[in-house]
Amino acid sequence: MPARPVTCRARVAAVRALAPAILEADLGLVDPPALEFEAGQWVSVPFGPKTVRAYSIACTPRSRSTITLCADVAPDGPGSRWFRALAPGHEVEFKAPLGGFVFSRAETRHPLFVAEEIGIVPIRAILTDLDEAGVERPATLVYQAASLAACVYDDELRALARRRPGFAYHPLVRGAGDSPEALVDRLVADVEGLVAYVAGGQGTIARVREVLVAKGLERKAVKWEKFW
């Protein structure tokens, strides 16, 4: 069961660019000094009484005193400008952990992960968490980005596929072949014993879900996290 969200204060320890418009920030927790969360969850940053922005936690639960956030700052809204302005030493406040896009180690079904753009962040955290825990189980990832440069964590995911023979990794570049839903349609011949986790835009989530439901998968067996 995910921990109850709390208000956190943290200090920025480091900021790095993974791609021209994708940034990671390490936040050292001040109060509380450590945070319990599950891979796949997110934090909520306030920007006024009725405006908040959500950022996926990019690290695994093994990191409790420092958490890493990852964001696409291309939209250039208040959240993007806030993230771009982060610098070592800055203090930030947020509420965490939030969200139920988590994978239980008690799950017996074969997971199919589908990530679109920045939607890779919670899915990569889940996969890394399973790898760190030494959990050997079959899993498939379909990951579409706008370009090879925007395919963040690609080297890490390819290394994971080499290290874990049961993990199948299928990277895609938008407009250069299959769409996520078309590739899912080709890869999935039988939905028996399948559970799907889809993170990205609402359109991709809906299309992937419909492909799987048409093959006989229950709608509730498709978990999703909408980023836009």
Q: Where are the alpha helices (DSSP H) in 47-201?
A: 78-85, 120-132, 154-163, 180-187
Return the amino acid letter for 186: R
Percent of the chain residues topping a pLDDT of 70: 99
CA neighbours within 13 Å on the CB side: how many for 56?
28
Does this chain's domain 6-98 share its CATH topology with 110-226?
no
Could you tell me if 109 and 83 are in contact, meaning their C-beta atoms sit under 8 angstroms apart? no
Residue 24 pLDDT exceeds 60: yes
Q: Is 40 left (phi over 0), alpha (psi -120 to 50) or beta?
A: left
Q: Is the dihedral of CA 197, 8, 130, 167 positive or negative?
A: positive
Domain locations in the chain as residue ranges: 6-98, 110-226
Question: 110-226 in CATH: which number?
Answer: 3.40.50.80
Q: Is 31 helix (H, G, I), strand (E, B) or coil?
A: strand
Arithmetic mean of pLDDT over the chain = 95
Residue 118 has a pLDDT of 97
Rg (CA), the chain: 17
Average pLDDT for 98-102 = 97
Residue 16 pLDDT exceeds 80: yes
Give the predicted TM-score (pTM) of the model.
0.95
Q: Is the dihedral of CA 185, 188, 189, 192 positive or negative?
A: negative
Retrieve residue 69's tokens: 């956030």
Structure confidence by residue, pLDDT tens digits, 129-139: 999 998 888 99
Q: Which CATH class is domain 6-98?
A: mainly beta
Structure confidence by residue, pLDDT tens digits, 126-172: 999 999 998 888 999 999 999 988 999 999 999 999 999 999 999 99
Return the amino acid letter for 82: W
Residue 1 pLDDT exceeds 80: no
Residue 49 has a pLDDT of 78
Please state, in angstroms and rounded to a whole number, the distance separating the CA atoms of residues 49 and 39.
28
